[in-house]
C-alpha cells in the first residue's frame, strides 16, 4: 500500500496560495480530447501567464490566468480556471507559471478518454460472480470463481418455505465492495449501461473490452451486461414477483470471493420496488438484444410483463429489511417513480393500450426534478420519454424534455464564477458523491442529446475532469488511471488478493461530508470535496459500487463515442413498438372494467367489501366503493 495521496493533496490545497508560494494546478490526470474543452484550475497564478510547453520544451500556447474564484465545495482557496481549449494538437504538454512547472503532464489525443472508459466497463467483468477470472482477461487480478450461487435458501420474507428446496441464482455482478447481489441497485446500473450502448451503437459495436466473449459477434458491452441480466432473470419468482436481493444474512469478512462462497446465501424479500425495476430493465433489454438473440429478447419481454402484472397487484408492498438480515437494505426508494419508469419502458417496446392509459394519467413536472439514483427513477422515466418523442404523447414528451433541459441548465449555471470549473455543488457531497456527480453528467449529456448544445457536453466533461483529478485533493478517483489514483478501496477482492494495486477501473464513492465511519475525522463542512479518506476502512467514502461505475462509464464512454464518431444519438431514429404484451390489468383498469379479471369474488375483509381477483396466479384485492360493512 502506498502513502495516502490524500495527505499530499490536502497539504497542497490548504497551503495559502499567493505569490509567496509556487502556483499549484489541479487537473484531469488522464487526458483531454483533441477537439474538446480543456481546463485546469490553477491556484496562485491570477493574472499571470500560464505557458503550455510541448515535449521539446517549445511554448505551444500562452494563456493569462483569469481572476481567481472560489468553488465552494473546495473551500476558500480561490483558483483561476485556465482554459487552453485552443491547443488542438495531440501530444503531451506541461503547464508552467513563472518558469515553474505546475500540475501534471497534460495528454491530448483523439482517443484520450478511451482507455479509461473501457476500464470503467471492464470493472463489471471483475465484479462477475460464478466465474473464474483468468489471466488472459484479468491480468494479475486473475482469481478463482466465487459464489456459484446454485444452492440458495429462501428467506421467509420471500413467502417460500425456508426449509423447502433450495434455488439457483448464478452469475450477476457483485454490488460493490461486498459480495451481495441486489436487484434494486442492479436495475439502475444495468439500465444505465444498456443506455450507453443504445445511445452510442456505432462506437460500441467496434469497442473490444477483452472479456471471455470478445470473439463472438455480439458487442462486448452487451455480453458483459448479459452476465447480469441472466442473473436478474433468476430473481423472478414463479408468480412474476421479483426477489429484492440475494445475500448472506451478514456481510462476510475481508476475504476472497472463493472463501466468501462457503457462507450460505438467501433469496430475501419479494416486493414492489424490485419488480418495477426489473420490468424497466428487461423491457429495454428485449429491445436491445432482439437483433442479436431474438429468443433471449423474448424471454426478457415476457419476464418484464409478468413482473409488471405482479407489481401492479402489489402496490404498497415495499421491502422491509428482516430483523435477522444485516446486508445492504436498499429500502426507502420512491416506488412510484420506479413504476413510472417501468411503465414508460414497457409501453415503449409494447405499445400496450393499458399502459397508454396509465401514462395518460401521468405528468412530468420540472419541479420534481431529481438526480437519478437507486432511490429515485423519475429522471430515468423522463430520459426514456424525452428521447422517444415519436412514441409518447406530445404533452408528455415535451414536459420530459423540459425537465431534463431545465435540470441541466441548473447544473450548468453553477459553472459561473467557479474557479475549478466543476458543475457540482456543496449539496452533492454525500455517500456516493462520485455517483451523484456522474448521474448529473448523465442529465447533462441527455440535454446535449436533446438540444445538441455543446455547453451541456462541456459541463459533463467538467465532471469527468473532476473525477480524474481536477479536485482539491489532486486525486484520480479511478483506480489505475492518472498520476495519483486512489489506492485503498473498500473492495473485498482488492483487499484480500495480496496485490498492491487495486483492481483497475473502479470509481470510489468519493468525498462524503457526513461519513460516520473511519472517514469521520475528515468530514469538512467548509470544504466538502475534501471529506475523503483513501483507506479501505471507509465504506462511506472509499467503497466502489456498480451504480457509481455505470454512470461514470456512461459519461466518459459517451464523451469519447461522440468525439470519435462526430455524432450523438438521434431522437428521431426510434423504431415503433416491437412486442405485444398481454393486456395488463392495472388496478385502475380493473376498477373501470372488473370483468377483465378472472377468478373474481366479493369478500368482506375488515369493514370493507372487496373484490378479490386472481391474475396469473396472483391474488389481489380492490375496495368496492360505497359498500362498507360494520
Query: Residue numbers of the site for ligand 9MR (CB under 6 A)?
Result: 175-176, 178, 180, 328, 431-432, 539, 543, 545
Dihedral of alpha carbons 34, 39, 44, 46, sign: positive
Smallest separation (angstroms) from ligand 9MR to the CB of 379 = 16
CA 375 to chain centre: 12
Dihedral of alpha carbons 490, 493, 498, 503, sign: negative
Smallest separation (angstroms) from ligand 9MR to the CB of 542 = 10
Catalytic residue among 114, 149, 178, 305: 178
Q: Is 178 marked active-site?
A: yes
Smallest separation (angstroms) from ligand 9MR to the CB of 332 = 9
Q: For ligand 9MR, give the closer residue by CB, 180 or 212.
A: 180
Grid cell of 53 as nine digits: 510547453
Grid cell of 473 as nine digits: 485533493
Q: Is 580 marked active-site?
A: no
Grid cell of 530 as nine digits: 475534501
Q: Is 377 marked active-site?
A: no
Catalytic residue among 490, 491, 497, 615: 490
How far is the C-alpha of 515 from the C-alpha of 166, rounded, in Å?
38
**317: number of CA atoms within 13 Å, CB side?**
22
How far is the C-alpha of 370 from the C-alpha of 251, rounded, in Å?
31
Q: For ligand 9MR, give the closer residue by CB, 36 or 180.
A: 180
Bridge partners, residue 604, by sequence: 609
Grid cell of 459 as nine digits: 459541463
Q: For ligand 9MR, give the closer residue by CB, 173 or 456.
A: 173
Catalytic residue among 149, 273, 534, 615: 534
How far is the C-alpha of 155 from the C-alpha of 174, rounded, in Å?
20
Smallest separation (angstroms) from ligand 9MR to the CB of 328 = 2
Q: For ligand 9MR, give the closer residue by CB, 245 or 401.
A: 245
Grid look-up 415495499 returns: 318
CA 254 to chain centre: 25
259 class by beta-carbon count within 10 Å (0-12 exposed, 13-18 middle, 19+ buried): middle
56 class by beta-carbon count within 10 Å (0-12 exposed, 13-18 middle, 19+ buried): exposed
Catalytic residue among 474, 497, 543, 615: 543
Smallest separation (angstroms) from ligand 9MR to the CB of 507 = 11
Grid cell of 179 as nine digits: 459480495
How far is the C-alpha of 388 from the C-alpha of 198, rounded, in Å?
12
Q: For ligand 9MR, give the closer residue by CB, 27 or 186.
A: 186
Q: Is 269 helix (H, G, I), strand (E, B) or coil?
A: strand
* Element spanning 55, H or E: none
How far is the C-alpha of 459 from the C-alpha of 102, rounded, in Å?
24
Q: Is 293 marked active-site?
A: no
Smallest separation (angstroms) from ligand 9MR to the CB of 117 = 22
Smallest separation (angstroms) from ligand 9MR to the CB of 435 = 7
Catalytic site residues?
Answer: 178, 490, 534, 543
Amino acid at each position: 500500500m502506498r502513502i495516502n495521496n490524500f495527505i499530499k493533496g490536502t497539504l497542497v490545497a490548504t497551503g495559502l496560495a499567493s505569490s509567496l508560494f509556487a502556483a499549484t494546478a489541479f487537473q484531469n490526470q488522464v487526458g483531454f480530447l483533441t477537439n474538446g474543452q480543456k481546463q485546469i484550475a490553477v491556484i496562485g497564478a491570477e493574472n499571470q501567464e500560464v505557458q503550455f510547453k510541448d515535449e521539446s520544451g517549445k511554448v505551444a500556447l500562452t494563456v493569462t490566468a483569469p481572476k481567481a474564484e472560489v468553488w465552494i465545495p473546495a473551500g476558500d482557496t480561490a483558483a483561476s480556471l485556465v482554459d487552453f481549449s485552443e491547443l488542438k494538437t495531440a501530444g503531451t504538454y506541461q503547464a508552467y507559471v513563472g518558469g515553474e512547472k505546475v500540475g501534471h503532464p497534460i495528454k491530448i489525443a483523439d482517443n484520450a478518454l478511451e482507455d479509461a472508459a473501457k476500464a470503467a466497463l471492464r470493472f463489471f467483468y471483475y465484479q462477475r460472480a460464478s466465474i473464474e477470472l483468468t489471466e488472459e482477461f484479468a491480468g494479475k487480478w486473475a482469481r478463482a470463481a466465487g459464489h456459484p450461487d446454485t444452492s440458495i435458501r429462501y428467506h421467509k420474507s420471500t413467502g417460500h418455505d425456508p426449509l423447502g428446496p433450495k434455488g439457483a441464482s448464478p452469475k450477476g455482478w457483485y454490488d460493490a465492495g461486498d459480495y451481495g447481489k441486489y436487484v434494486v441497485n442492479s436495475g439502475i446500473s444495468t439500465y444505465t449501461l444498456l443506455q450507453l450502448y443504445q445511445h452510442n451503437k456505432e462506437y460500441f459495436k467496434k469497442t473490444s473490452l477483452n472479456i471471455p466473449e470478445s470473439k463472438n459477434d455480439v458487442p462486448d458491452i452487451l455480453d458483459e451486461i448479459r452476465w447480469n441480466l441472466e442473473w436478474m432473470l433468476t430473481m423472478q419468482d414463479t408468480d412474476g414477483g421479483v426477489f429484492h436481493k440475494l445475500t448472506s444474512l451478514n456481510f462476510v469478512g475481508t476475504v476472497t470471493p472463493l472463501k466468501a462462497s462457503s457462507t450460505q446465501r438467501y433469496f430475501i424479500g419479494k416486493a414492489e420496488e424490485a419488480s418495477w425495476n426489473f420490468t424497466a430493465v428487461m423491457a429495454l433489454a428485449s429491445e436491445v438484444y432482439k437483433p442479436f438473440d431474438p429468443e433471449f429478447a423474448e424471454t426478457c419481454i415476457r419476464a418484464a410483463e409478468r413482473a409488471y402484472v405482479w407489481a401492479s397487484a402489489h402496490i404498497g408492498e415495499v421491502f422491509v429489511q428482516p430483523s435477522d438480515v444485516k446486508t445492504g437494505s436498499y429500502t426507502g426508494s420512491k416506488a412510484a417513480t420506479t413504476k413510472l419508469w417501468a411503465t414508460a419502458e414497457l409501453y415503449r417496446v409494447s405499445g400496450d393500450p393499458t399502459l397508454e392509459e396509465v401514462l395518460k394519467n401521468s405528468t412530468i413536472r420540472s419541479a420534481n426534478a431529481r438526480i437519478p439514483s437507486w432511490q429515485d427513477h423519475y429522471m430515468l422515466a423522463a430520459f426514456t420519454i424525452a428521447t422517444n418523442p415519436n412514441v409518447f404523447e406530445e404533452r408528455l414528451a415535451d414536459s420530459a424534455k423540459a425537465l431534463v433541459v431545465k435540470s441541466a441548465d441548473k447544473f450548468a449555471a453553477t459553472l459561473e464564477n467557479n474557479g475549478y470549473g466543476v458543475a457540482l455543488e456543496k449539496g452533492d457531497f454525500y455517500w456516493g458523491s462520485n455517483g451523484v456527480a456522474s448521474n448529473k453528467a448523465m442529465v447533462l449529456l441527455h440535454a446535449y442529446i436533446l438540444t445538441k448544445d455543446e455547453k451541456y457536453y462541456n459541463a459533463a466533461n467538467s465532471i469527468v475532469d473532476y473525477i480524474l483529478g481536477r479536485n482539491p485533493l489532486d486525486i484520480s478517483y479511478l483506480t489505475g488511471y492518472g498520476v495519483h489514483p486512489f489506492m485503498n478501496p473498500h473492495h473485498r477482492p482488492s483487499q484480500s488478493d495480496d496485490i498492491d494495486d487495486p483492481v483497475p477501473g473502479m470509481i470510489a464513492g468519493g468525498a462524503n461530508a457526513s461519513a460516520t465511519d473511519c472517514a469521520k475525522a475528515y468530514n469538512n463542512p467548509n470544504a466538502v470535496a475534501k471529506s475523503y479518506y483513501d483507506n479501505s476502512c471507509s465504506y462511506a467514502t472509499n467503497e466502489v459500487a456498480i451504480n457509481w461505475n455505470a454512470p461514470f462509464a456512461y459519461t466518459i464512454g459517451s464523451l469519447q463515442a461522440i468525439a470519435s464518431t462526430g455524432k450523438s444519438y438521434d431522437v428521431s431514429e426510434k423504431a415503433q413498438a416491437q412486442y405485444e404484451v398481454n393486456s395488463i390489468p392495472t388496478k385502475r383498469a380493473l376498477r373501470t372494467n372488473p370483468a377483465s379479471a378472472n377468478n373474481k369474488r366479493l369478500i368482506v375483509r375488515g369493514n370493507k367489501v372487496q373484490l378479490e381477483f386472481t391474475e396469473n396466479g396472483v391474488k389481489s384485492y380492490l375496495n368496492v366503493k360505497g359498500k362498507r360493512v360494520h
